[in-house]
Amino acid sequence: MSLDLNLVALGNALNRLAESLSYDASQPLVVDASIQRFEFCIELTWKTLKKALAAEGIEANTPRECMSQAYAAHWLADETVWLSMLKDRNLTSHTYKEALAVEIYSRLPGHLAAMQSLYQVLLARGGQP
């Protein structure tokens, strides 16, 4: 998948996450669906970053390496926010605890904002959605 196709998929995924966050969070299904969409978004984000970095001649092979290299390239405003997102992704994908799900759900608007900001940076760098 090319960088442009990744950007299309990422833009669509971010829109779907934003949509899920607009629903009533008192419904457990909404929380679960939003977390699932977040997991999908973070996966697409780091894989898109990997391709964008490679286009710049920068090698990064893991999510953490991609985040660190993107921060070094000034594509990310705050590396700790991104490392927190990776931590949340790892927590949600390896176990399910309702209290943890609610806690992570409360951070999703901030995570979404960071991913949307990066998406705009990548578009400004010449990506085509």
Question: What span, in angstroms and rounded, lies between the C-alpha atoms of 117 and 123?
Answer: 10
pLDDT score of 5 more than 90: no
What is the pLDDT, as a whole number, of residue 127?
A: 65
In a domain, 11, yes or no: no
What is the pLDDT, as a whole number, of residue 118?
A: 96
Higher pLDDT, 95 or 10: 10
What is the pLDDT, as a whole number, of residue 114?
A: 97
Tally the residues of the chain: 129
Whether the model pTM is above 0.75 = yes
In a domain, 40, yes or no: yes
Specify the residue for token string 């399910």. Answer: 96
Domain count, the chain: 1
Please give the residue range of the domain that contains residue 40: 28-127
In a domain, 13, yes or no: no
In a domain, 1, yes or no: no
What is the pLDDT, as a whole number, of residue 129?
A: 58
Tokens of 122: 């990548």
Work out the end-to-end distance of the chain between its first and last CA atoms, rounded to an integer number of angstroms. Answer: 13
Task: At 122, give phi and psi (nearest 5°).
Answer: -65, -40
Residue 61: give its domain's CATH number: 1.20.120.330
